[in-house]
Amino acid sequence: MEKQRFKITLNWQGEVHTIYRHAASAPQALCHAIRELARKVGYSNEFVKKYVMEDVYDRWRVEIK
């Protein structure tokens, strides 16, 4: 499958992080961005994923760029 460039916007505790990734799909790009954010903020991948993906908040956006 051909990779596309995605722009992923993540809201981490009120701070907006924009990450660009090449991936085969939007969910894959989001997964890569969450891992990068976890490294940046110093928390585990799982902790960051649970925070970002919490259903009651809109903390992420993935766009094709």
pLDDT tens-digit readout, 11-44: 999 999 999 999 999 999 999 999 999 999 999 9
Looking at residue 13, what DSSP letter applies? T
23: left (phi over 0), alpha (psi -120 to 50) or beta: beta
Residue 10 to residue 54: CA distance in whole angstroms: 12
pLDDT tens-digit readout, 40-55: 999 999 999 999 999 9
> Which residues, 6+ apart, have CB-to-CB distance to 56 below 8 Å?
none
Predicted confidence (pLDDT) at residue 64 exceeds the cutoff of 80? yes
pLDDT of residue 57: 93
pLDDT of residue 1: 73
Instruction: Break the chain into its structural domains and give their ranges.
Output: 4-64
Q: Which two tokens stand for residue 8?
A: 């992923």
